[in-house]
Structure 1
Amino acid sequence: MSVLTPATAATGDAATPAGDPDLSKFGYTPQLRRSLSFTDLLFYGLIYMVPIAPFAIFGSVYQASSGMVALAYVAGLVVMLFTASSYAQMVRAFPIAGSVYNYAGRGIHPAVGFVAGWAIMLDYFLVPGLLYLVASVTINGAVPGVHAGIWLVGFVVINAVINYFGIRLTAVAINIMIAAELAVLGIFLVMGVIGLAEGRGNGDWTTAFFSSDNFSFGLVLGAVSVAALSFLGFDGISMLAEESKGGARQVGRAMSVVLLLAGLIFIAQTWVASLFVTDGAALIASADPAEVGNAFYAAAEAAAGAPWLATLCLVATAIAWGLPDSMVAQTALSRLLFAMARDKQLPGFLAKVSSRHASPVNAVLFTAVISLAISGSALYFLLEKGEDTITLIATMVNFGAMVAWLMLHAAVIWHYVVRNGSRNWFLHLIVPLVGAGLLIAVLVHMQLHSQITGLIWVGLGLVVLGVLYAIGRRPKLSGMGGE
């Protein structure tokens, strides 16, 4: 398929109809291929959220929540459902690629959209690097004969090649890989039930959900700020609004469904794992990163009564984070860069779309280079300098996403209630207000260094915005001015 230009758009093709109403009214010419079904979007969202994400951060969330790990995920799901509702409202108003960047920019003002896009780039830039870093270090532990750096480069190259050849191949690869990931999760849950039936559990059935001795709202919110890493990614579905066969409603529905499914999966696996933690007090008090990081695998070994399940879960984590999960993370970042470059808010070469594969090839390749640079640098400092770069990057990721989501909630209120006079008070006022309040509460209870790093990044974005205004390149979106 060739890229549609204004001259050729009149004829169109089967994959991208001419005069696509989801794009033409915003001043864009269709370039990306509409080929994704609801199932494709569902699988994409699930794999981006990483159904087995708690495997890697179970110990950290257990510590932060004083053992109430399942409660942290319940609270996180509630917070994210409010955010998903606002995403669904804005994708219906603006069914185009760019996610919160476009929603805040068109819902409020292009300058606000730039700041929102900049804020969430902290998440999108760092997540692929974090995934590659964790995957390469984890699989190096299982296969020490191959250096972690070789695994890292291999993961990046494989994903870049798949993304280069377009979203259809990416979707096929994702569907295959998520099946394997869910199979491992199913084995763990089944062995957990067998382990409980055979008396290998610790008998503590309720602490994962509530402990009167440790409970406080501040504690739970602080744990949510860690557990939120597992939820990041459901919003990535909105990046594919221009590649969805069913348009905006399909995208909004997919986000809500995938969030609910993933949340229930997270709650189930962390509750089962908590039943096999042999010494909860020791894990909560532990200062050993290795012990905390291996907490889930230790629970898996206890559930099976043998080390094979721990090894299976460890290898599954490495492969899942290194291939399908980082693949969709790179896909989302490339679409954000494409959307901002198309509006001339980033260098124009990032807006180039392959005439053969209908994918933003330059953005894909640039994303691969950035991911390799971030993960490679972090791997060097981890192995050579002994610095805990995994924790450092993980704690930086959530801040940018939550700041962008605050702007998303504000955009719902401004676009629907203030600008268009909506009287749907529940969806367009109450839900975004409650969602914003919950996000602020989580941000307040986030670790101090995460807050500082995040504020520095947002501050840098404001400086860049000021420079753009100073040189006469204030943010503008197609179909509307910079005002």
Structure 2
Amino acid sequence: MKLLTLIFFKKGELFKLENVTLKRSLGLWAIVGLGLGYMTPTIVFDTFGIVSEETNGVVPLAYLTALAVMLFTAISYGKMVQVFPSAGSAYTYTKETMSPHLGFIVGWAALLDYILLPMVNALIIRIYMVSVFPSVPAWIWVVCYVAVVTGINVWSMSKTSNLNSLLVIFEVVLICAFIVLAFVKLSQGMGQGTIFTTEPLIHSNVHLGAVLTGATVVCFSFIGFDAVTMYAEEATDIKTMPKAIMLTVLIGGAIFFICGYFAQALFPDVSGFKVTDDTLPEIGLFVGGTIFKLVFLAGAFAATIASGLASHASVARLLYVMGRNGVLPKRLFGSVHPKFLTPAFNVILVGVVSLLAIAPSLELISSFINFGALIAFTFVNLSVIAHFVFRQKRYKTGKDIFSFLVMPILGAGTTGILWYNLQADALIGGIAWIVIGLIYLAFKTKISKTSIVDLHFDEAEKPTSL
């Protein structure tokens, strides 16, 4: 565990705190809850119109495709979090197994989706509140939301976890209510007119390319299983992390698939929606009337806050790891607040960035998120090969070949396919972000007159073996 020495001023006097660390306060289900909160299960209803158009009406098939890809990567995350039980996720794994320079670029790419995810939640809150209170300026909702989420994350990680758990439970209850109402509406002849149908999964107009495009849209919803690795240093038992990762992706994937199936069965096409960019309010209205629409919006509101808390906390910890590693200015990014034991500067910085949610569209921001996420997923799979096959020579048995070579190759290959199918705007914007990172890397190494190779984690622990 990383030990920090903090020097700060209080009432004109100099104070020095030794051995300040992130607090280990999160159990298995607290971590799973943070992951599910991050994934925002109700996002399936927000993006339903977009994905249904992209896939020609097979939203649940897009989620199944994305889930299959994510399972390979989740297994790789489970392996790597045991070897390198520190925060940092794909950045740490790539840096330690392949190259510090490459690790920086992967971390920089991951920053794109981590920084933008809190903004997505602020943006969704803006959409919800404007739909209910159209006369109130949109920027007010963004500012209020960001202020609350930032304050909670600065205050305490355990408070974030507890509030997140309550919000996740509330949204799951609302999703169950939607499923019950969907049963009733389908039995009454709405949509497909039957509860059990294959139309949401396969029909004559289904094309592989369209399904893959839809999968790239929904894959950002699975980022929660990746985000939980950021809490490795705050887990009460590091051995629970692989299980937490798999539970997060499986439970989240099941919720996405079931909700996507019933929504697609109820609405075979999106011609009946006035707004296809965010169909959640209208889905609630059509399924349960005005009262359920308001309750459904309340559940989605809770889900978005839960995701906002988790995503805000995660990106703050990624910045913390890059800061204490010296890649970002250590004094700012690598510090822990002496009272709250949270990376307060990073939390506030993420809050400031989230204020940009006042203007852009959901589809635009989500497309940029996918660029960084898929790069991170690909390199986590490659880091398994680099560590176990090339470093530890774990290729002498059939079990090792399957576990440490075949599975990660499948994970890297499938994420690569999704990356190839990203929208042009996401590719252009993502590449521009990578170029900025390369310029910063060149500037950093030139000014400091030290190679990024020489910047390392000064942790007491060493990589462990499986």
- Give me the TM-score of the superposition, normalised by structure 2: 0.89
Aligned equivalent of 1:280: 269
Aligned equivalent of 1:341: 323
Q: Does 1:408 align with 2:380?
A: yes
| Partner-residue secondary structure (3-state), 1:71 | helix
Aligned equivalent of 2:155: 165
2:59 to 47, 69, 94: 69
- Please report how far the alpha carbon of residue 325 of structure 1 lies from its aligned counterpart in structure 2 after TM superposition: 1.1
CA distance in structure 2 between the aligned counterparts of 1:29 and 1:295, rounded to whole angstroms: 49
Q: Does 1:394 align with 2:366?
A: yes
Change (3 A) 1:469 1:403: same
Whether the 8 Å CA contact 2:20–2:341 is kept in 1: the answer is: no
Q: Structure 1, residues 441-479: CA drift from partner, whole Å, max 9, x if none?
A: 111111111111111112221222222233324322225
1:245 to 229, 236, 261: 236
Q: Structure 1, residues 294-314: CA drift from partner, whole Å, max 9, x if none?
A: 44443443333x233233323
Superposed, 1:6-405 pairs within 5 Å as 31-203=21-193, 205-211=197-203, 213-247=204-238, 249-277=239-267, 280=269, 282=271, 291-304=275-288, 306-321=289-304, 323-348=305-330, 349-372=332-355, 374-376=356-358, 379=359, 389-405=361-377
- Please report how far the alpha carbon of residue 172 of structure 1 lies from its aligned counterpart in structure 2 after TM superposition: 0.9
Aligned equivalent of 1:426: 402
Whether the 8 Å CA contact 1:106–1:477 is kept in 2: the answer is: no
Runs of 4+ in 1 over 4 A off after TM superposition: 3-7
Aligned equivalent of 2:451: 474
| Partner-residue secondary structure (3-state), 1:307 | helix
CA distance in structure 1 between the aligned counterparts of 2:418 and 2:129, rounded to whole angstroms: 32
CA distance in structure 2 between the aligned counterparts of 1:401 and 1:62, rounded to whole angstroms: 22
CA distance in structure 2 between the aligned counterparts of 1:353 and 1:196, rounded to whole angstroms: 53
- Please report how far the alpha carbon of residue 240 of structure 1 lies from its aligned counterpart in structure 2 after TM superposition: 0.5
- Please report how far the alpha carbon of residue 61 of structure 1 lies from its aligned counterpart in structure 2 after TM superposition: 0.8
- Please report how far the alpha carbon of residue 105 of structure 1 lies from its aligned counterpart in structure 2 after TM superposition: 0.5
Change (3 A) 1:294 1:240: closer
Q: Structure 1, residues 119-177: CA drift from partner, whole Å, max 9, x if none?
A: 00010111111210121122121123432211111111111111111211111111111
Q: Structure 1, residues 89-116: CA drift from partner, whole Å, max 9, x if none?
A: 1111100011111111011121111111
| Partner-residue secondary structure (3-state), 1:291 | coil
Amino acid corresponding to residue 459 of structure 1 in structure 2: V
Change (3 A) 1:6 1:397: closer
CA distance in structure 2 between the aligned counterparts of 1:243 and 1:350, rounded to whole angstroms: 18
CA distance in structure 2 between the aligned counterparts of 1:350 and 1:441, rounded to whole angstroms: 34
- Please report how far the alpha carbon of residue 30 of structure 1 lies from its aligned counterpart in structure 2 after TM superposition: 6.3
- Please report how far the alpha carbon of residue 332 of structure 1 lies from its aligned counterpart in structure 2 after TM superposition: 0.4
Q: Structure 1, residues 369-394: CA drift from partner, whole Å, max 9, x if none?
A: 1222x223xx2xx5xxxxxx322212
Amino acid corresponding to residue 235 of structure 2 in structure 1: S
| Partner-residue secondary structure (3-state), 1:292 | coil
Change (3 A) 1:236 1:80: same
Q: Does 1:447 align with 2:423?
A: yes
Amino acid corresponding to residue 232 of structure 1 in structure 2: I
Whether the 8 Å CA contact 2:53–2:270 is kept in 1: the answer is: no
Aligned equivalent of 1:438: 414
Q: Between the two proteins, what is the percent identity of the paired residues? A: 29
Aligned equivalent of 2:463: none
Whether the 8 Å CA contact 1:142–1:315 is kept in 2: the answer is: no
CA distance in structure 1 between the aligned counterparts of 2:232 and 2:206, rounded to whole angstroms: 41
* Count of paired positions: 437
**Cα-Cα RMSD:** 2.1
CA distance in structure 2 between the aligned counterparts of 1:320 and 1:148, rounded to whole angstroms: 20
Q: Structure 1, residues 413-467: CA drift from partner, whole Å, max 9, x if none?
A: 0111001111311221111111111111111111111111111112221222222
Q: Does 1:459 align with 2:435?
A: yes
Whether the 8 Å CA contact 2:49–2:270 is kept in 1: the answer is: no
Mean Cα deviation higher: 451-460 or 258-267: 451-460
Whether the 8 Å CA contact 1:273–1:296 is kept in 2: the answer is: no
Whether the 8 Å CA contact 1:465–1:474 is kept in 2: the answer is: no
- Please report how far the alpha carbon of residue 4 of structure 1 lies from its aligned counterpart in structure 2 after TM superposition: 5.5
Whether the 8 Å CA contact 1:48–1:326 is kept in 2: the answer is: yes
Unaligned runs of 5+ in 1: 8-27, 383-388
Whether the 8 Å CA contact 1:276–1:299 is kept in 2: the answer is: no
Q: Structure 1, residues 208-238: CA drift from partner, whole Å, max 9, x if none?
A: 1112x22232221111011112212221100
Whether the 8 Å CA contact 1:136–1:318 is kept in 2: the answer is: no
CA distance in structure 2 between the aligned counterparts of 1:86 and 1:168, rounded to whole angstroms: 27
- Please report how far the alpha carbon of residue 319 of structure 1 lies from its aligned counterpart in structure 2 after TM superposition: 3.9
Amino acid corresponding to residue 335 of structure 2 in structure 1: K
| Partner-residue secondary structure (3-state), 1:129 | helix
Change (3 A) 1:138 1:220: same
Amino acid corresponding to residue 421 of structure 2 in structure 1: H
- Give me the TM-score of the superposition, normalised by structure 1: 0.86
